[in-house]
Structure formats: C-alpha cells, structure tokens
Amino acid sequence: MKTQSLLLLLFALFSCALPVALQAQDESPGDSGSIQFSCVVWEPLPITAVFYRDGKSYLPLEFFPGNRSQLYPLKDGNALELYKKVTAADGAVTYQLVGRAPLVAGARRMLFLVDPVGKASRLPLRLYGVNDALDVFPPGTIRFFNFSATELQVKFAGQASKLPRGKMSLVKSNVSENGGFIPFLIGDPKGAVLFETRLFSQPTGRDMVFISAPAQPGGRLLVKVLPQLIAPEPPQPAGPSPSSSP
C-alpha cells in the first residue's frame, strides 16, 4: 500500500508540474518531406553534447530528463541521426554517429525515446520513434507501450485489452472536464494482476505509459509515465452579423 500511495503521489505531481507544453499548432509539413520532432530521455545521457544532422548541418539538441524536449525541424533525410562532436589533436572538428532511427512513413510530427545502451552495441544511443501527430494521438487519450518480454493485459477507464510484446495501444480516457484519477491495472495473459495504480487524466492531456521488464528477475514491472497538456485552440473571432433587411 505504501508503494502504491507513493506512485500515486509521484504521478499526480509529475502531471500537474508540467506546463502547457504544446499549443494546437498547424502540423502541415511545409517543405516536401519536412517534419517536426521532439525527444525524451529518462536520465542524463553519458554524451554531454548531442547534435542531429539536417542535410549538411549539425544542430544541437537540448534534453530535459523525464520530459519532452522542444520541437525541432527536420527538413532533409528519412531518419533521425544523432552525433557527438569530436575534436582532433590538430583542432579539426568532425561529427561521429551515436544513434539512428528511421522516420515513420507519413508522420509529420514524431517523438523519439533516447536511451544509452551497452558497449556491445554498435552505437551508444538507442532511438525508438513513434508518430506523435495530434490526429493519431489526440488529447483525452493514453498510449500504452509494452517493452517487456511477454504479452500483457491492460485495463484502463473500464476498457481491457491485450497488449502484445513490442506493441502499443491507444485508449480514450473518457474523463470529466475537471479530470481525475482512473484505475489502471496490468495483468499477465492469465489475468493475474502484476501492477495496479491510478493515473491522473484530463481532457486536454495526452499521456504515454511505458511498461518494461523488471530490473531484477521476479521484481515488479517498471512503469514510466510521460504526460503532456495540449492547449485548446483559441476561439475563432465571430464574423460580421448579416445586415437586416429594411
């Protein structure tokens, strides 16, 4: 019970502490093939300065652990490539690839999870990208990601569904205008409850829930929540009223 209460408090504080981070923006791609993207890291990365390549330019990224970065433009290429700056003894500067992930076909806005990986990996950073456009992930919904090794069952807002390994699902919260805490359960394929808490939801929010395998065999599933508030579109000014006939 103490663990569950602590999780409740953390989720509530984390959701409420975030500012309205995203206005309802025009998501049209502009130039052919251009997109916008943001990144999220859970902990500070071992590489202190990270750049992304856009055509021939290497542009700096800024991360905020546990939260989304700002939106960045990407006008050229079919993948997000991250680099670190390398300065040779003679002062020559080059950029070394440290992470790469393809863009989702047709996506105009993407979110990339960035994690460090072990030395056995070819690249030190692992990227996982998802379509983050408002038309596929609107306010008032929650996305669940299963990064564990087995199929799971999730129950949220009275809706139960299977969540295969490596897959994601989208659930509408159906929460009231003022928002509130909604029971959230994770079970195994046989229905045994593996994790239980309550998530705070509101109509202007869209949250991501990442479910990973326990850190130690036999431990609890690791659950991380990435909330975001979406500002409603401002009301359109009323047009001139039609003149009355004499």
Give the DSSP letter string of 177-228.
TT-EEEEEEEE-TT--EEEEEEEEE-TTBEEEEEEE--SSTT-PPEEEEE--
Token pair listed for 122: 């070819």
Q: Are 231 and 237 in contact (CB under 8 A)?
A: no
Token pair listed for 230: 């979406």
Query: Per the confidence metrics, is the pTM higher than 0.75?
Result: yes
Give residue-wise pLDDT tens across range 131-159. Answer: 999 999 999 999 999 999 999 999 998 88
List 146's β-bridge partners, or say none: 211
Q: Are 173 and 108 in contact (CB under 8 A)?
A: no
The whole-angstrom distance between residue 206's C-alpha and the CA centroid of its chain comes to 10
Q: How far apart are CA 97 and CA 50, in angstroms?
A: 10
Give residue-wise pLDDT tens across range 204-220. Answer: 999 999 999 998 888 89
Q: Are 212 and 149 in contact (CB under 8 A)?
A: no
Q: How far apart are CA 201 and CA 159, in angstroms?
A: 15
Give 242's pLDDT tier (boundaries 50, 70, 90).
low
